[in-house]
Amino acid sequence: MAKGTGLLEVKGLRVAVAGNEILKGVDLAIREGEVHAIMGPNGSGKSTLAQVLAGHPAYTVLAGTARYDGKDLLDLKPEERARAGVFLAFQYPVEIRGITNSYFLRSALNALRRERGEAELDPIDFLQFLEQKLEAIGWDDSMMNRPVNEGFSGGEKKRNEILQLAVLEPRLAILDETDSGLDIDALKTVAETVNKLRGPNRSFLIVTHYQRLLNHITPDVVHVLADGRIVKSGGPELALELEAKGYDWLRDAAMVS
Partner 1 sequence: MAHVDQLVGSYRAWAANGASGAPDWLRDLREGGIARFHELGFPNMKQEAWRFTSVAPIAEGSFELAKAPQKVPTLEEIQPFLLFETGHRLVFVDGFFQRSLSMPLFDDVQSLARVATEHPDLVRQHLGKYAASENRPFSALNTAFVNDGALVHVPAKAAVEFPIQLLFLATGGKPVVSHPRNLIVVDREARASIVETYAALDDGAYWTNAVTEIVLGDGARVDYHRVQQESSRAYHVATTQSHQGRDSTLNLHFVAFGGRLARHDIGAVMAGPGGTLILNGLYLLGGQQHADHHTTIDHAADHCESHEYFNGVLDEKSRGVFTGRIIVRPGAQKTDSKQTNNNLLLSADAHADSQPQLEIYADDVKCTHGSTVGPLDPRALFYLRSRGMGEDEARRLLTYGFAAEILGRMGVVSLRAELDRIVRVRLAA
Residue 154 near partner 1 by CB under 8 A: no
**Least distance CB 91 / partner 1 (angstroms):** 12
Q: Which residues contact 218 (CB under 8 A, 6 or more apart)?
A: 35, 236
Instruction: In whole angstroms, give the CA distance from residue 73 to residue 80.
Output: 9
Residue of the chain from 9, 21, 115, 243 that contacts partner 1 (CB under 8 A): 115
Residue 83 near partner 1 by CB under 8 A: yes
What pairing do the DSSP bridges indicate for beta strands 6-17 and 59-68?
antiparallel
Instruction: In whole angstroms, give the CA distance from residue 5 to residue 18.
Output: 36
**Least distance CB 103 / partner 1 (angstroms):** 8
**Least distance CB 175 / partner 1 (angstroms):** 13
Give the H or E element holding residue 75: none
Contact range with partner 1 by CB under 8 A, out of 10-18, 35-43, 88-96, 203-211: 88-96
Residue of the chain from 93, 102, 152, 247 that contacts partner 1 (CB under 8 A): 93
What pairing do the DSSP bridges indicate for beta strands 71-72 and 59-68?
antiparallel
Instruction: In whole angstroms, give the CA distance from residue 83 to residue 40.
Output: 29
Within 131-150, which residues bind partner 1 (CB under 8 A)? Answer: 147
Rule CB under 8 A: which residues touch partner 1? 54-57, 77-79, 81-83, 87-88, 90, 93-99, 104, 107-108, 111-112, 115, 147, 164, 168
